[in-house]
Amino acid sequence: MSALQTRAIPSTGEALPVIGLGTWQTFDIADDPRLRATRGAVLKAFAAGGARLVDSSPMYGRAEDVVGALVQAQDLRERLFLATKVWTAGRAAGERQMEASLAKLCVDTIDLMQVHNLVDVETHLATLRAWKAQGRVRYVGVTHYTATAHDAVARILDTHPVDFVQINYSAAEREAERRVLPLAHDKGVAVIANRPLAQGALLRRLARRPLPGWAADIDCATWPELLLKFVIAHPAVTCAIPATSSVAHLQDNLRAGTGRMPDERLRARIAAEAA
């Protein structure tokens, strides 16, 4: 497989591969050796493929614990860009939760800490500014997963110096194009696209249809590749984070980060297929 393409994080210029890994549901697993082995294989293949960003949250059950244990067991820390979130109210509660997340992920410094779904966002951003100054976090961000919150997300981007914003964006959920993506581009904020495959619903619907012949023009052989290329070809998007517990699906996702990318004409055709 060709090397993954990268995008620069605007606030520093650090290069980040365009395909990452979400962990909601897929890494929230019991302490079962077979389940741990499959997720370990996914992380190993992810790092071997040149990908870096792994995103989690305290909201995702045991996902942080599982990621931390597997990263430590496979000595992957230096190869990965670990992101998680704070998801509670109050300064003290937020600090306790972030300390717990660092312990679960087995790190002293987290690459990216995000305020999950804007919960008590002003309080936590103040804390995170201090943590960043102390070197406990490298980057600070905010997140949401619904289009109804995009205006609130935009207000934060307008008024606070954050490094990242994470929002829902796919060929089936294009509301971010209206305000959040242009604003992030103008403000120099990196964008992580969650739900890039619309939580799998879009794939299930399209699986009944043949892949368009023109998909080969941008080196796509599967629907996941085509739909992910739609997302990462947007000029404001830094990284998409599809979730999977399958090495085969992971490899499919990683191939989307290689080869030719769609121009606006082809992105419109992909969106039409997803409509």
- Residue 171: CB atoms within 10 A of its CB come to 23
- Give 104's pLDDT tier (boundaries 50, 70, 90): very high
In a domain, 3, yes or no: no
pLDDT tier, 237 (very low <50, low <70, confident <90, very high otherwise): very high
90 assigned to some structural domain:
yes
pLDDT of residue 275: 86
| 153-174 tens-digit pLDDT | 999 999 999 999 999 999 999 9
Average pLDDT over residues 179-190: 98
The reply to whether 77 falls in a domain is yes
Residue 162 forms part of a structural domain: yes
Does any domain span residue 134?
yes
- pLDDT tens readout for residues 66-87: 999 999 999 999 999 999 999 9
- Model confidence at 200, pLDDT cuts 50, 70, 90, reads confident
Residue 199 has pLDDT above 80, yes or no: no
Share of the chain above pLDDT 90, in %: 95
In the structure encoding, which two tokens stand for residue 215, read together? 């998909």
CATH number for the domain harbouring residue 28: 3.20.20.100
Q: Rounded distance, CA 61 to CA 51, Å? A: 24
Scan for tokens 């599982």, then name that residue: 66
Distance CA 50, CA 46 (A): 7
Which residue segment(s) compose the domain that 120 sits in?
15-274
- Which pLDDT belongs to residue 203? 87
Q: Domain count of the chain?
A: 1
Question: Does residue 5 sit within a domain?
Answer: no
| Averaged pLDDT, 181-201 | 94
State the number of CA atoms in the 13 A half-sphere of 69 facing the CB: 15
**Residue 243: inside a domain, yes or no?**
yes
